Chains A and B, each alone.
Chain A
């Protein structure tokens, strides 16, 4: 046979009875006729037996060894010798080197030919240990998976809630900004009203103007005033009177009639709104231009239950754009009316509402009516 017959793995398979029949016959013949093969076969067998004695065999090789090789009493004796020789060799080596020998469990000839002893058979102990370890890892893995899933769900819910809170926060911010904007607008309007009031007070007709006033520089007088006769001059003044005074007749100081105040031109749009009726979808229109500064609205009340009222201008988003202070209803030819003036600059072409609330004695406000109005910007 060629050199391939000296393959160590095949020799082992031959010794364990797992080689094919044709090859087995060939190895049998070689074991007689080839001295070198016979020697190598003998050496392989001793190494195989030593490997079994040390527990170095596993899997199918171990199975074949226990089921086939140990079937023979002669071969079992070889294993016993190997076990004893291992101990002997280790003891001798320890005596020589001074290194103590570890006590290791020697492998008894096993398989079908000895009593079944689970604790003495390392293979079964390993199998049970492995099974227990696998079971442990399966249980642990299952628990970890379910925990992971629960925590993920929890995290998802927390994130959802966080988003909701964030959204709510944004809404509140917007409302706050709106409130601040309205407050600023109210203050602006208030400042404007105060300014106008101050201006009006400056030009009030109740305040008399003394005669001995210096001649004022010529002002632009309305045409009406130009037609009036000349007024007599003040004799106390340095200026020379135009006409001689009558003798002996003291001049009476005359009161110069106050000129009507010169009001600045303000563009105001007006609208009268009747109380809204149920089932009536008609909306009053209000046309304004870019120059319109104010809107005067007269809101007719159905009934007068409250001493004071408040009117708010609200857009389609229910946002309050302007709000009045506490106002009283006035009696007009059309009945009780609330009159308000609100700035027109922020108005756009859309529908607004003038919401009327009655203010109770304790200060609580109660919404009583809403007047829709369609603004048309020209």
Chain B
């Protein structure tokens, strides 16, 4: 009983958070990038499962891993990525059970835009204009090389895009796969920047 209550009341401390970062880095200092990447994967996982609160479930997963690390000092049964995946599955199953029981927080439902009426054309237009402004702003913050990569990589229709990518990879002297990964990461940063900018 006490253990359960202590689990519910547990909160991430700075120490636990650092321990988590080190564990995820596996001895290689990623400056928190591994943590961010793991969180992104967790959000994507819960989002694919159509969970209403993918961000919260991702945070819950990382909390549980951090708590386990603090309680036991180390986790050696699985590699960090796999352990996070296993923990995420448990969290997902719990959320399913909770949904079935009907215990979905009202706030969660209201936050789900499926239940919200469709936005009007004016609102959509304003939102788009805002996004374009943010794109301009966020792209300017990128390095020139990355700016060129992101624009050239994603520009054009199917065939044109393929040719552009081949030419771009050749000009950078990297493989198309490597170019793809690089472009994806730049776009993720851009998307995150635009998302925050649009909410301001």
Contacts and interface: CB of A to CB of B under 8 A. Distances in A.
Interface of A: 15, 17, 28-29, 31-33, 38-40, 42-43, 46, 50-51, 54, 56, 71-78, 80-81, 83-90, 92-93, 108, 113-115
Contact of B41 (A32, A43, A77, A115): A32
Interface string B179-200: 0110110011011001100000
B85 interface: yes
A290 to B, nearest CB: 100
Given A81-B191, A85-B154, A31 B132 contact: no
A145 B17 CA distance: 80
Contact of B131 (A28, A74, A75, A81): A81
A367 B80 CA distance: 130
B187 A46 contact: yes
B113 A73 contact: yes
Contacts of A92: 139, 151
Nearest to A70: B114
A78 B79 contact: no
B85 A29 contact: yes
Given A84-B128, A113-B113, A50 B85 contact: no
A74 B83 CA distance: 25
Given A43-B184, A76-B113, A56 B50 contact: no
Contact of A33 (B82, B154, B187): B82
Contacts, number: 96
A28 B118 contact: no
A32 B135 contact: no
**Majority secondary structure, B binding face:** helix
A43 B179 CA distance: 10
A46 B41 CA distance: 15
A11 to B, nearest CB: 12
A32 B45 contact: yes
A81 to B, nearest CB: 5
B113 A31 contact: no
Nearest to A39: B181
B135 A42 contact: no
Interface of B: 37-38, 41, 43-45, 47-48, 50, 54, 79, 81-82, 84-85, 88, 112-114, 118, 124, 127-128, 131-132, 135-136, 139, 150-151, 154-155, 157-158, 177, 180-181, 183-184, 187-188, 190-191, 194-195
A341 B128 CA distance: 121
Given A42-B188, A113-B114, A75 B47 contact: yes
Contact of A113 (B118, B151, B155): B118
Contacts of B112: 73
A87 to B, nearest CB: 7
A73 B82 contact: no
20 contacts: A31-B44, A32-B85, A38-B41, A42-B184, A43-B181, A46-B154, A54-B157, A71-B50, A81-B131, A84-B128, A84-B135, A84-B194, A85-B135, A85-B190, A86-B154, A87-B132, A88-B139, A92-B139, A113-B118, A115-B118
